Amino acid sequence: MKKIYIAFLQTQFKTGKTIRFLTHNKYNHVCISFEPSTKEMYSYARYNYHEPFMAGFGIEYTDRYYVAEEMTCIKLCEYPVDDAHYERIKEAVGYYKQNIDKTRYNFFDIIMYPFQKHVNLMLAHTCISFVLELLERNDVHTIGQLEKSLPSDSVIFEGRLDEFENFSPSHGLTDFYEKRSRRVVVGASVLALGGLVASVFKEFMATVMLAM
Q: Give just the sign of the alpha carbon dihedral 185, 187, 191, 194.
A: positive
| Higher per-residue pLDDT: 165 or 98 | 98
Please, what is the average pLDDT of the chain? 83
> Does the pLDDT at position 157 exceed 90?
yes
- Count structural domains, the chain: 1
Is the separation of the CB atoms in 70 and 161 below 8 Å? no
CA angle 153, 70, 33 (to 5 degrees): 40
Is the separation of the CB atoms in 9 and 159 below 8 Å? no
List, in sequence order, the alpha helices (H) in 1-114. 14-23, 83-98, 107-112
Nearest Cα to Cα of residue 87 among 2, 158, 148, 144? 2
CA angle 15, 19, 22 (to 5 degrees): 135
Neighbours of 52 (CB within 10 A): 17
Q: Which of 10-14, 42-46, 74-78 has the lowest mean pLDDT?
A: 10-14
Q: Which of 19-23, 48-52, 71-75, 172-176 has the lowest mean pLDDT?
A: 172-176
Give the domain extent around 116.
2-211
